[in-house]
Amino acid sequence: MKTFKLVYFLLAITFLLASCGKDEILDNVEQESEKPEELVSTRAGLKTIGSGVMMQAFYWDVPAGGTWWNVVKGKVSSWSNAGIDAIWLPPVSKAQNGPFSMGYDPFDYYDFGEYNQMGSTETRFGSRSELESLISRAHNNGLNVIADIVINHNSGGDLESNEFAGKDTYTLFNPMSNKFNRTKYDFHPNEAYNSDSGIFGGFPDLSHNKSYVQDWLWKRNNSVAKYYKNTMGFDGYRFDYVKGFAPWVAKEFRRSTGVFGVGEYWDGNVNTLKWWTDQAQMSAFDFGCYYKMRDAFMGNNLNALSGDMLWKRNASRAVTFVANHDTDEIINNKLLAYAYILTHEGYPAIFYRDYEDWLSKSKMNNLIWIHNNLAGGSTTNLWTDNDEYIARRNGGYGKNGLVVYINNSNSWKERWIQTNWSSRRIKDYTGNSNWEPVTQGGRWVKIQAPPKGYTVWSLK
């Protein structure tokens, strides 16, 4: 038995060395990082979530009038071709403000624009049939569709006498879908529980410890979680305001269907983010990374990028971003910030308005291509100072790796750096430099980056 194992080991080493001779494989494959655990795909024919880039397919106050689902539907093919693997939609169900609501004041979780309540039949974004058509088009283009889930609070209920609150409260919900009717017993305070982790905006706060609430949110066969996946066709959840309830709530909701999940824990403290992802057993938006990038690019001090970030703790559970519908503070040098998240570890999300309206789409597509085709393996920092930042992705899982050079100064910069490639010709895949140097035997090479710009180097 030991002899056979030795033979198999030698064969495996031989195969590995032979494979490393091919141009498309990096020289030192031993630096592969652990394969991200959050890569999931639950529906046949779709890209794997985390293999590409997420698109936040909305912004605050997108045009009302029921047109948005059709707008997004018209873009999913080009987004897929660009390398997007999932689209994140705003809350899709009927909310208190009906045709004007962005969905974060949920009333009827099962009204997707088909019941005449809260002042309209359609939601702000369109009808149920238009939503279903969008999801179908996305799936036909290999894209996953992520639903924004708001389960901390509700809005739009009728007034009822509430002895637990000591006053009348808007906690009587009788939605036209006749699913998940709610009363004062389902919100805080009630006969058993006074409160949970937090309330939002004074809205009625769902009591997640109540079995009835759990049944309707994730346990029943037609629960919100299962209905959204099995009937509507969603492939993952983005959990809104997860500070408002214990991590186990999001954990159980997601686990009931086994799909991708990411939480909005709005906190720059990386210890807190790491704690939440460990407890909830899913990804979180990397606010640690966001605030460090804000300090770096808005404060013109790239030393901030040396700070702690969730992706540095556990890249497989970090969703990195430069802007979203709630916060857009990185205004200066925003493309440099995208060059950072699209070359580093973590699952990058890009913001609709940045991609479609405000930044160069060709440059964004180039960075998406770089992320999907070159940015593999662990990360090694090579240089950081006030104006310059250089890091190496060490390659792995069929990707050669890269070296990214971000220059926040007003002049061209050059530096000698050590790559993972010995005596190999490299090029800048952004087109910002026309150098094509050959690395020395010791893997050292001089690279450059333009003022207020970036370059990304890999094997030619």
pLDDT, tens digit, 9 for 90 and up, residues 365-398 = 999 999 999 999 999 999 999 999 999 999 998 9
Choosing from 343, 375, 407, the residue where a domain stops is: 375
Kindly indicate the confidence band of residue 30, based on its pLDDT and cuts at 50, 70 and 90. Answer: very low
Tokens of 322: 């430069």
> Is residue 253 domain-shared with residue 398, that is, in the same domain?
no
Assess if residue 30 is contained within a domain: no
**pLDDT on residue 18:** 38
Does pLDDT of 3 surpass 80?
Answer: no
Assess if residue 9 is contained within a domain: no
> Is residue 233 domain-shared with residue 348, that is, in the same domain?
yes
| Closest residue by Cα to residue 347 from 458, 260, 442 | 260
Kindly indicate the confidence band of residue 42, based on its pLDDT and cuts at 50, 70 and 90. Answer: low
**pLDDT on residue 397:** 87
Tokens of 249: 């709530």
Choosing from 352, 375, 398, the residue where a domain stops is: 375
Choosing from 359, 375, 391, the residue where a domain stops is: 375
> Is residue 445 domain-shared with residue 337, that is, in the same domain?
no
% the chain with pLDDT above 90: 89
Q: Are 202 and 154 in contact (CB under 8 A)?
A: no
What's the alpha-carbon Rg for the chain, to the nearest Å?
24
| Burial classification of residue 153, based on how many CB atoms lie within 10 Å of its CB (0-12 exposed, 13-18 middle, 19 or more buried) | buried
Kindly indicate the confidence band of residue 429, based on its pLDDT and cuts at 50, 70 and 90. Answer: very high
CA dist., res. 211 & res. 57, Å (int): 34
End-to-end CA, the chain: 44
Assess if residue 196 is contained within a domain: yes
Assess if residue 251 is contained within a domain: yes
Residue predicted with more confidence, 285 or 197 = 285
> Is residue 314 domain-shared with residue 384, that is, in the same domain?
no
pTM above 0.85, yes or no: yes
Pairing of strands 402-407, 388-393: antiparallel
> Is residue 241 domain-shared with residue 262, that is, in the same domain?
yes
| Closest residue by Cα to residue 46 from 139, 113, 120, 128 | 139
Alpha helix locations (H) across 74-118? 76-82
CA dist., res. 29 & res. 17, Å (int): 10
> Is residue 270 domain-shared with residue 295, that is, in the same domain?
yes
Mean pLDDT of 46-53: 96
Assess if residue 253 is contained within a domain: yes
Alpha helix locations (H) across 239-297? 247-255, 270-280, 287-293
How far, in Å, are 56, 93, 135, 410 from residue 348 at the CA level? 10, 26, 21, 27
> Is residue 278 domain-shared with residue 400, that is, in the same domain?
no
Q: In this predicted model, what pLDDT tens digit does every residue of 54-108 receive, in sequence order?
A: 999 999 999 999 999 999 999 999 999 999 999 999 999 999 999 999 999 999 9
Assess if residue 11 is contained within a domain: no
**pLDDT on residue 8:** 38
Mean pLDDT of 341-363: 98
Tokens of 143: 């894209």
**CATH code assigned at 269:** 3.20.20.80
> Is residue 339 domain-shared with residue 395, that is, in the same domain?
no
Domain ranges, residue 449? 376-460
Q: In this predicted model, what pLDDT tens digit does every residue of 251-283 receive, in sequence order?
A: 999 999 999 999 999 999 999 999 999 999 999
Assess if residue 20 is contained within a domain: no
> Is residue 215 domain-shared with residue 289, that is, in the same domain?
yes
> Is residue 208 domain-shared with residue 310, that is, in the same domain?
yes
**CATH code assigned at 424:** 2.60.40.1180
Place of tokens 């160069």: 360
Assess if residue 364 is contained within a domain: yes
Tokens of 62: 């997108």
> Is residue 359 domain-shared with residue 223, that is, in the same domain?
yes
Q: Are 183 and 216 in contact (CB under 8 A)?
A: no
> Is residue 351 domain-shared with residue 399, that is, in the same domain?
no
Mean pLDDT of 342-348: 98
Q: Are 299 and 331 in contact (CB under 8 A)?
A: no
Number of domains into which the chain is organized: 2
Q: How many of the other CB atoms lie within 10 Å of CB of 99?
A: 18
